[in-house]
């Protein structure tokens, strides 16, 4: 039996935090043990918010280092960059022609922008279409993402069905893969951990930064068990261990926060060190991405040939 395939993308939009790691990144490392995988840097997607070439350049390299540091193995996973594979934008155009405006207007990101009276650019409006192309070119069985990306994967599935119904069976229908326990990792204020809420704990934080973040966790003076501290701690230790610990130290917020700092440091320090090692040799690291893109290109080009055949533009 052939191995199942997973695929996911990450925007090069800054430092990853624990929400990104437990919600999505960790799944890639776990899945690579038994599955064939594609993980890519969605640099064209990031253009909607990142319009500075130097920053884009740096961020791309940073994502690469982040993933190598958490243990993504380029021998097991094809790690590539979206902008290296022109088939993504090419297929997105073809999907544009079978996707209606009202359908895309149901997307959360669009509705949010509309509710805030933001003038949304066409790229942001079309974001889910490019994402559909990213996914469908490689025929993954599963797309591991955090809960906020579920709708995007469902849109990709609908677009695949529409294409198949119009032109004949071409694309495998993808499924989002969302782990219930980490679908929404909470931040230091209890809301979803997110850069835009300023409530994150960076995945590669230095000790002092970890301390600062943990000390800023919001606690309510009436609580026996500080739930925001517990929720983050629970990412590192199972409830079976934590509950009795928290019960025995009920009300002692400072002590519990100190324990969390130590546990976070134990977890983060090896990742941080590994990242620094990789960062010493950027040319070698870039070569990994370049090779991955070459491999991905072969798969994407083959699928695109099939698409061109199906829509009838192949005449030579
Ligand atoms: P982003 O940096 O927002 O593009 O997110 C990258 C990945 O991390 C996506 O799969 C998100 O769904 C996931 N993610 C981001 N924040 C969280 C969170 N607080 N909890 C769970 N998953 C998250
Ligand atoms: N939209 C995803 C995010 O913001 C990134 C992404 C782009 C992606 N293309 C994808 C994720 C394809 C999974 C599959 O996190």
Instruction: State yes or no: pLDDT of 90 exceeds 90.
Output: yes
What is residue 3's predicted lDDT score, i.e. its pLDDT? Answer: 87
Ligand nearest to the CA of 127: 2
More confident residue, 268 or 1: 268
3-state secondary structure of 26: helix
pLDDT digits 0-9 by tens, 64-83: 999 999 999 999 999 999 99
Closest CA to 149 of 131, 171, 124: 131
Mean pLDDT, residues 152-165 taken together: 97
Ligand nearest to the CA of 150: 1
Mean pLDDT, residues 56-60 taken together: 96
SS (H, E, C) 165-231: HHHCCCCCCCEEECCHHHCCCECCCCCECCHHHCCCCECCCCHHHHHHHHHCCCCCCCCCCCHHHHH
* Ligand 2 pocket, mutate which of 12, 20, 45 (most atoms under 8 A from CB): 45
Instruction: State yes or no: pLDDT of 36 exceeds 80.
Output: yes
Distance 310 CA to ligand 2 centre (A): 26
Instruction: State yes or no: pLDDT of 1 exceeds 70.
Output: no
* Model confidence band, residue 178 (pLDDT cutoffs 50, 70, 90): confident
Q: Which CATH number fits domain 5-183+282-311: 3.40.190.10, 3.40.50.620, 2.40.70.10, 1.10.510.10?
A: 3.40.50.620
- For the beta sheet containing 36-41, the strands, ordered from the edge strand earlier in sequence to the opposite edge, are 77-81, 36-41, 5-10, 142-144, 175-177
pLDDT digits 0-9 by tens, 97-118: 999 999 999 998 888 888 888 8
Among 72-76, 194-198, 218-222, 238-242, which is the least confidently predicted range? 218-222
Instruction: State yes or no: pLDDT of 24 exceeds 80.
Output: yes
Contact 282, 61 (CB under 8 A): yes
Contact 87, 303 (CB under 8 A): yes
Ligand nearest to the CA of 135: 2
CATH class of 195-276: mainly alpha
* Model confidence band, residue 233 (pLDDT cutoffs 50, 70, 90): very high
Atom of ligand 2 nearest to the CA of 7: 14
More confident residue, 224 or 120: 120
Q: Ligand 2, atom 6: nearest CA belongs to which residue?
A: 9
Prediction pTM value: 0.91
Instruction: State yes or no: pLDDT of 133 exceeds 90.
Output: yes
* Model confidence band, residue 148 (pLDDT cutoffs 50, 70, 90): confident
Q: What percent of the chain has pLDDT over 90?
A: 78
User: Which residues' Cβ are closer than 6 Å to ligand 1?
Assistant: 10-11, 13, 19-20, 23-24, 145-146, 148-149, 182, 184-185, 192-194
Q: What percent of the chain has pLDDT over 70?
A: 99
Mean pLDDT, residues 245-255 taken together: 87
Instruction: State yes or no: pLDDT of 200 exceeds 70.
Output: yes
Domain boundaries, the chain: 5-183+282-311, 195-276
């Amino acid at each position: 039996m052939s191995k199942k395939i997973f695929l996911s993308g990450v925007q090069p939009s800054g430092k990853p935090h624990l929400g990104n790691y437990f919600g999505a990144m960790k799944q890639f490392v776990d899945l690579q043990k038994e599955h064939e995988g594609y993980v890519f840097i969605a640099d064209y997607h990031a253009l909607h918010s990142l319009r500075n070439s130097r920053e884009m350049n740096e961020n791309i390299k940073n994502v690469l280092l982040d993933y190598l540091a958490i243990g993504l193995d380029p021998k097991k996973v094809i790690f590539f960059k979206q902008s290296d594979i022109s088939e993504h934008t090419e297929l997105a155009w073809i999907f544009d022609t079978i996707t209606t405006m009202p359908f895309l207007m149901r997307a959360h990101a669009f509705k949010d922008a509309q509710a805030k009276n933001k003038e949304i650019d066409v790229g942001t409006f079309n974001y889910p279409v490019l994402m559909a192309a990213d996914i469908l070119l490689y025929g993954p069985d599963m797309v591991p993402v955090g809960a906020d990306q579920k709708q995007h994967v469902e849109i990709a599935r609908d677009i695949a069905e529409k294409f198949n119904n119009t032109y004949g069976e071409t694309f495998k229908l993808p499924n989002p893969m969302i782990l219930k326990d980490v679908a929404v990792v909470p931040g230091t204020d209890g809301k979803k951990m997110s850069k835009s809420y300023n409530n994150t704990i960076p995945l590669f934080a230095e000790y002092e930064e970890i301390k600062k973040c943990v000390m800023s966790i919001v606690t309510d003076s009436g609580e026996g068990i500080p739930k925001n501290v517990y929720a983050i701690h629970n990412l590192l230790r199972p409830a079976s261990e934590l509950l009795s610990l928290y019960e025995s130290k009920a009300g002692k917020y400072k002590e519990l926060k100190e324990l969390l700092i130590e546990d976070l440091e134990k977890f983060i320090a090896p990742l941080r060190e590994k990242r620094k090692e990789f960062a010493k040799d950027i040319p070698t690291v870039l070569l990994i991405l370049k090779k991955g893109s070459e491999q991905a290109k072969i798969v994407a080009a083959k699928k695109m040939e099939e698409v061109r055949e199906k829509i009838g533009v192949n005449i030579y």
